[in-house]
Amino acid sequence: MKKLMTNILLAAAISLAFKWRYKLLNAILGNDSIRKMSVRAAMNIPGVKERLIQGAFRK
Handedness of CA 43, 55, 25, 18 (dihedral sign): negative
Domain regions of the chain by residue span: 20-59
* pTM for the full predicted model: 0.50
Q: What is the C-alpha separation between 28 and 23, in angstroms, rounded?
A: 9
Tens digit of pLDDT per residue, the chain (59 long)? Answer: 889 999 999 999 999 999 999 998 898 889 999 999 988 998 898 888 888 888 888 76
Does residue 31 contact residue 25 with C-beta atoms inside 8 Å? no
CA-to-CA separations, 8 to 1, 16, 21, 40, in angstroms, rounded: 11, 12, 19, 35
CB burial readout 13-26, b (16+ within 10 A) else e? eeeeeeeeeeeeee
